[in-house]
Amino acid sequence: MTRPGGELLALQREVETRARDAGLQVPEVVYEVVDHRELNEIAAYGGFPVRYPHWRFGMEYDRLVKGHDWGLQRIYELVINTRPVVAYLLRHNAPVEQKLVMAHVCGHADFFRANAWFAHTDLNMLDVMASHGARVRALGGQVGQEAMETFIDRVLSIDNLVDAGALRRARGRPGNAPPLDGPLAPGDILGFLLLRAPLAAWQQEVLALLRDEACYFLPQMLTKVMNEGWASFWHSRLMTGSLLRDAEVVDYACQHSGAMGGDDGPMNPYKLGLELFRHLHDLAGGDRGGGLAAVLEARAVHNDLTFFDACANTEFCRTHGLGTNDEEIAAARESTLASLTNGGQPVLRRLPGEGPDLELEHVWSGAELQLDQAEETLRNLQGLWQGTVRLHTRLEGRALLLTCGSSGVTREYGDLLEKPELGA
């Protein structure tokens, strides 16, 4: 891992100057030049060079290495939301590729600083992750690697049980997670476990730091489409606007279409986000009208769900193959919105009550939980709570109550509900 030399620094200066002139708030960005092996490793750790030890990172690494060795995948860019923003450049990329990556990174860096959902983020995360790693290692040395890993596995199984709406309460405080001294959001089940579950001191500590990491990554899940779309919108604008030399056009076009293409259809997040921003830009009158102001405002206030809802009108859906008539378009919009809600994760919240049991409700949005997985997950939750856990959900048009005690999960079906689910 090395810092960029003179040529790359000159490129960086050029790209960032253009980006700032165009209206982006580009904070300080530090590039690290790495080879593909290092990049695969850092990517496996979610962008951070040092994390706690866990097989899941090894699994990710395994996949990345195999994909790379067979020439199937490559990582275009890797950038993390810290102060300064850290981004990685592949050592052997051609200058035009480095330029493209830098222009793309400018978009991400601006988004991290400007978007409301990132306002609470602890920007010292590079150090925080490393110290989490050191703590887990040290505690693991005391309680044993097996016990530590088993506990982490359990927590990871439920680490989506945080409340996106409560994130802003972490603003202006160290850490990414909402503080535990105020009223607790109903979706913050990890927070509730921290306060009330009978955990050993080391378990408390590990749970707290995993909750913090989950809250750090959550905004990125909620804004994946926008974040990638915004970065692509800007690399495309900056490159074709001023940065490209004549000889680089074909290479750039190749790179760009490589990132935008793929079999994922309209849900390739790069592509969908890019087209939404372009659509909004045109709607608001393009560069001569209020196009730029409109996209700058949108990137500051929206998340994926509200952004798609606000921008994907009938015309957009028709142009991009999301349906041909009103009915199809309405259905496509509905299903896309559902997939963007809460980052595509079901919303669970705790029902009020002071009893010894943990009572949860799956907030119905029209889609069922995967039942076998839900039961396994309940067991993990029960293991942490060390008491009975109940979950109210729906299955095949009936209310379903899953109860997990120390002996396993039981199912109780209610009557057929009058209103069947929305998206059959």
Partner 1 sequence: MAAPEAGGGRIERDRARFSAIVRGHIKHDLRRYVTGSELIGRKGRHLVSIPVPRIELPRFRFGRNGRGKGQGEGDRAGDDSQPGEGAAGGAAGSQPGQHLLEVELSLEEMAQILGEELELPNIQPRGRARLTSPARKFASLRRTGPRSLRHMRRTWREALRREITSGLFDPKDPRVVPVADDLRFRSWKDVARPDHAALILYMMDVSGSMGREQKEIVRLVSFWIDTWLRSQYQSLEMRYVVHDAVAKEVDQDTFYRLRESGGTKISSAYALAADLVEQQFPPSEWNVYLFHFSDGDNWSGRDTEKCMQILRDRLLPVANLFCYGQVKSAYGSGQFKKDVDQALGGDDRVLTAEILDRDGILPAIKSFLGQGL
Site residues (CB under 8 A) for partner 1? 1-2, 34, 37-38, 41, 44-45, 49-50, 53-59, 61-63, 66-67, 70-73, 146, 149-150, 153, 156-158, 160-161, 344-346, 348, 362, 367-374, 376-377, 380, 395-396
Closer residue to partner 1 (CB): 37 or 168: 37
Tokens in use for 47? 């962008």
Minimal distance, residue 106 CB to partner 1, in Å: 26
Minimal distance, residue 214 CB to partner 1, in Å: 12
Closer residue to partner 1 (CB): 3 or 168: 3
Closer residue to partner 1 (CB): 22 or 395: 395
How do 398-405 and 389-395 pair as beta strands?
antiparallel
Minimal distance, residue 161 CB to partner 1, in Å: 7
Q: Which uninterrupted H or E stretch holds 86?
A: strand 85-90
Number of Cβ atoms within 10 Å of the Cβ of 2: 11
- Distance between CA atoms of residues 56 and 62, nearest Å: 10
SS3 263: coil
On whether the CB atoms of residues 402 and 391 are closer than 8 A, the answer is yes
Closer residue to partner 1 (CB): 14 or 38: 38
Closer residue to partner 1 (CB): 291 or 346: 346
- Maximum separation of any 2 CA atoms in the chain, in Å: 71
Minimal distance, residue 140 CB to partner 1, in Å: 12
Minimal distance, residue 251 CB to partner 1, in Å: 23
Omega before 84 within 30 of 0, i.e. cis? yes
Residue with tokens 């359990």: 154
Q: How far is CA 58 from CA 55, 156, 157, 422, in A?
A: 5, 15, 17, 40
- Distance between CA atoms of residues 100 and 166, nearest Å: 36
Identity at 220, one-letter amino acid code = Q
Minimal distance, residue 10 CB to partner 1, in Å: 20
Closer residue to partner 1 (CB): 130 or 300: 130
